Structure 1
Amino acid sequence: MRVTVAHPRDLGQPELSRWRALQESDAAFDNPFLSPEFTVTVGELRDLVRVAVLYDGPDIVGFFPFERHPLGIGKPVAAGLTDAQGLVHAKGLDLDPRRLIKDCGLSVYEYDHLVSGQPLLDGRYTTHPSPIIDLRDGWGPYTETLRARSGKTYKSTLAKSRKLQRESGPLRHDYAITETGPLHTLLGWKTDQYRRTGRTDRFSQRWIVELVERLLATRSDSFAGVLDMVYVDDVPVAGHFGVRTRTTLAGWFPAYDTAYAKYSPGLIHHLAMAEAAAASGVQVIDMGRGEKEYKEKLKNGELEVAEGRVARAGVAAGVHWMMRVPVRKTRATVMANPLLLKTADKALKTFGRLRTVLQG
C-alpha cells in the first residue's frame, strides 16, 4: 500500500469522485461529516487539514481526512464539532493503523466519534451509543413507534404546539432554507445557550461561523447544508442547522428562543424537522453521541462510535497520553454516573449564570 498526503484543495475531481463512490458503497460511511465536501470546506478555513490518499497499486482504496497539529498530534477534521470520524475505504481493506499515522507524519491520532468497523481501531478504546431517528420505514411508522415508546412526550408536544398557536398565532415550518438572516438568529440562540449552560461558545471563533455560512451555501445531490426554522405568527421560535448526504441528516446545531421555553419549542421543531426530512428522502437523522433528554425521547435506534487513540512509541505520544488520557477517563466516569453528571451540569449552569452577570 502507498500513501500520499495532500491538502484538500489539491485533490482533483477524479479523487473527489472516488471518495464519494467509496462513501456511498458502504452504509457505515453514510454521514456528511465523512463527505469530501465537508473536508474541503473546512480545509478552506484551516490550513492544518490534510487528506491521506491510500493506493493499492494504481487504485485508490481509501481516504483519511485529519488535522495535523504541533508535535505530530493528529485529530479529526473540525475536531470537537463533528459526530462522525474516520477512514473512508474500500471493503476488506487491511492496514496497520500505526503505519498509516506514520505515513501521515503523525505521532498520535486521537478520536472521539470514530464510526464502527474502522481499521483504525487499535489498542484501548471505548464505544458509545449515538442515538438516531430512523425514518427508513417512513414518517408514519416512526410516529407509531414514538407513540408506543414515548407516548406521553409525543402527546404533550402536540398539545403544547396547539397551545402555542392558540396563544401566539399560526405555526409555520420552513425546511432547507438558504437565507443567512435566519441562520444568524439561530447562532445567536446557540451562543446564548452555550453561555447560559457554562459551555464554551463555539461561535466566538470566526472560522466556525464562516464554516457554517459556507456549508449553508453548499448544495448538491450528495451533500448540502440544511437550515430549517419554526415560526409562530412569522416570529422565529426554534431551528436547526445541520448537513446531509443523500439519505442521512446529521443533527448539529439545534436551538430555540427561551422566551417560548414553556411550550417545548425544541421538541416541536424536531418533530417538524423529522417529518420534512423524511419527505425529502432522508432516512436517518443522526443526533450524535451524548446524553441529552430530547435524544432519549425521540430516538428509535442507535449507532455506535468509538473514543480512543492510535499512537506510535515516542516522546510526543507520551506527552499526549499524560495530557489527554486521564482527562478523557475522568470525563467518561462523570458521564457514566447520573449523580456526577447532574452535579457537573449544575456547576456549569451556575458558572454560566455568574459569567453572564460579570459580563453585564
Structure 2
Amino acid sequence: MDISVYRPGELTAADRAAWTAMQSKAHLNGAPELANPFLSPEFTLAVGRCRRGVRIAVVREGGEPAAFFPFQRSATGVGRAVGLGVSDCQGLVHGPDFDWDARELLEACGLAVWDFDHLVQGQDPFEAWAAGTYPSPVMDIDQGYAAYLAQLRTRSPKFTRTTLAKERKLGREAGPVRYVHDERDPRALRTLMAWKSAQYRRTGRSDRFAHAWISRLMAQLFHTRGDSFGGLLSVLYAGDVPVAAHFGLRSERILACWFPAYDPAYAKYSPGLILHLKMAEAAAADGIAYLDLGRGQKEYKDSLKTRELTVSDGWVTRRHPVALGHRAHRAPVRALRNTVLRRPELFEPADRLLKRIGKIRSS
C-alpha cells in the first residue's frame, strides 16, 4: 500500500474533495454507513483544531486516493479513533473493492495500537480485532415520513398514538408547539448543553461538557454548514419556550443523532419523543435516508427504530511493547464494562446505583 500521513492542515483540497466524493457514492457501492458524518473530513478537521495528535493516512492506488484513515496518535504510538469518547462512527473510508492489511496500515501510521469503540460494520480487517459488537438503532425515512409513521403505527400503535396525543396536550397546556429544524441562535445551543450537563449529573454519568475541548468542538460544528456536512441544532418550542433540543451532524444521506435533551419540567409530555418525530419529518423532506440513533440500549430508541446497524469496539495491535502495555491496561476495564452492558441483570442495578449517586451529587 502507498500510504502518506498528514496533519489536518496539510490535507490538500483535492484530497478532501476525493474523501467527500467517496462518502457521496458510498450507498451506490454497497456501503451506505461510510457516509456517516462522523467519518467526514470536516469532523476530523474540527477535532484536529481541538485536540493534538490528529492525523490522516491517505492510501493511494495508481497515484489516486483509494482510502482515508483518520486517527489520533500519542507520542508513544498509541492510536485512538478520532474523537474517541464522543464519535459515534469510526473506521476507514474507502472506495469499492478496497482491501487492506490492518497491521501494515498501523505500521505506516507509526502506531503500535489503534483503539476504537464505534467501528462501522463492513471493515473486515479491523473487525477481526473486535472485542464486542453492539446494536446501533436507526430510523429509516428514505421512503418518506408518511411511510415511516405508517410503519411505526403498525409496529407500535399504542406508542405512536400516545406520543401524538402528548404533542396535542403540550400545545393545549403550554402553548402552540413549534419546531425549528435548523436553529441558528447560539443561546439555544447553550440551553441544550446546560440540560445535557444536568442530565449527566442527575444520572451519575460523567459530564462531557466539563471537558473544554468537547464544548469547543460543539461550538465549531454548530457553525459548520455545507452541502455534504453540517452541524444541526433542532429545537422544539411550546409557545416561545424551548422544551427539547438536539444537536447532531448530518451528511448528504444520514443524520447522526448525538446530543438530545429536554427540560425536565415538561417530562410528562415526552418532548424528546415528539422532537425525534419532528426531526424525522424534516429530515425526510431534506432527502435524508435515515437517522442513526447511536449505540446504546434505550427505551426511546427501541420505540423509534426500524432496524439496527452494528458497531464494534476493540483494538488493533502490532507486536510492540507499547501495544502489550496498552492492552494490559485497557482490557480488564473494557471487559468489565462490556459484561455489564450485555447483561440486563447487571446493567439495571448498576444504572440504578449511578442514578442514586447522581441524585446525591445534584443535591
TM-score by length of structure 1 reads 0.97
1:241 corresponds to which residue? 247
- Match status 1:3 vs 2:3: yes
- Match status 1:58 vs 2:66: no
1:188 corresponds to which residue? 194
- Match status 1:329 vs 2:348: no
How far apart, in 1, do the equivalents of 2:129 and 2:301 lie?
Answer: 30
Of 99, 107, 127, the match for 2:104: 99
How far apart, in 2, do the equivalents of 1:55 and 1:283 lie?
Answer: 30
How far apart, in 2, do the equivalents of 1:128 and 1:205 lie?
Answer: 26
- Match status 1:208 vs 2:214: yes
- Match status 1:297 vs 2:303: yes
Are 1:110 and 1:309, in contact at CA under 8 Å, matched by a contact in 2? Answer: yes
Q: CA deviation at 1:70?
A: 4.2
How far apart, in 1, do the equivalents of 2:115 and 2:158 lie?
Answer: 40
How far apart, in 2, do the equivalents of 1:6 and 1:72 lie?
Answer: 15
TM-score by length of structure 2 reads 0.96
How far apart, in 1, do the equivalents of 2:214 and 2:151 lie?
Answer: 36
Are 1:127 and 1:305, in contact at CA under 8 Å, matched by a contact in 2? Answer: yes
Q: CA deviation at 1:167?
A: 1.3
How far apart, in 2, do the equivalents of 1:86 and 1:184 lie?
Answer: 31
Of 346, 351, 354, the match for 1:345: 351
SS at match of 2:296: coil
How far apart, in 2, do the equivalents of 1:25 and 1:282 lie?
Answer: 14
How far apart, in 2, do the equivalents of 1:69 and 1:131 lie?
Answer: 32
Are 1:171 and 1:230, in contact at CA under 8 Å, matched by a contact in 2? Answer: yes
Q: What are the superposed Cα offsets for residues 327-360 of structure 1, whole Å, 9 maximum, x if unpaired?
A: 2121111111112111110111111112122xxx
In structure 2, the gaps of 5 or more residues are 27-31
Letter of the aligned partner of 1:13 in structure 2? A
RMSD: 1.2
- Match status 1:170 vs 2:176: yes
Are 2:132 and 2:338, in contact at CA under 8 Å, matched by a contact in 1? Answer: no
Q: CA deviation at 1:236?
A: 0.5
Are 1:97 and 1:122, in contact at CA under 8 Å, matched by a contact in 2? Answer: no
SS at match of 2:87: coil
1:269 corresponds to which residue? 275
- Match status 1:141 vs 2:169: no
Report how many aligned residue pairs link the two structures: 357
2:258 corresponds to which residue? 252
Q: CA deviation at 1:125?
A: 3.4
Letter of the aligned partner of 1:9 in structure 2? G
Q: CA deviation at 1:148?
A: 1.3
Letter of the aligned partner of 1:180 in structure 2? P
SS at match of 1:153: helix
- Match status 1:120 vs 2:126: yes
How far apart, in 1, do the equivalents of 2:132 and 2:214 lie?
Answer: 28
Of 52, 56, 63, the match for 1:47: 52
Q: CA deviation at 1:196?
A: 0.4
How far apart, in 1, do the equivalents of 2:136 and 2:58 lie?
Answer: 28
How far apart, in 1, do the equivalents of 2:202 and 2:300 lie?
Answer: 18
How far apart, in 1, do the equivalents of 2:146 and 2:168 lie?
Answer: 20
How far apart, in 2, do the equivalents of 1:226 and 1:126 lie?
Answer: 30
How far apart, in 2, do the equivalents of 1:149 and 1:335 lie?
Answer: 26
Are 1:101 and 1:108, in contact at CA under 8 Å, matched by a contact in 2? Answer: yes
How far apart, in 1, do the equivalents of 2:325 and 2:303 lie?
Answer: 41
Q: CA deviation at 1:124?
A: 4.6
**Within-5 A mapping of 1:68-79:** 68-79=73-84
Q: CA deviation at 1:127?
A: 2.0
Q: What are the superposed Cα offsets for residues 288-325 of structure 1, whole Å, 9 maximum, x if unpaired?
A: 11001110000001111121111011221111111112
How far apart, in 2, do the equivalents of 1:153 and 1:9 lie?
Answer: 48
How far apart, in 1, do the equivalents of 2:14 and 2:209 lie?
Answer: 34
Q: What are the superposed Cα offsets for residues 141-197 of structure 1, whole Å, 9 maximum, x if unpaired?
A: 101111111111111111111112211111100111222110110110000001101
In structure 1, the gaps of 5 or more residues are none
Q: What are the superposed Cα offsets for residues 38-94 of structure 1, whole Å, 9 maximum, x if unpaired?
A: 111111111211101111231211110001124211111110101110001122222
Are 2:66 and 2:98, in contact at CA under 8 Å, matched by a contact in 1? Answer: yes
SS at match of 1:129: strand
Q: CA deviation at 1:123?
A: 3.5
SS at match of 2:22: helix
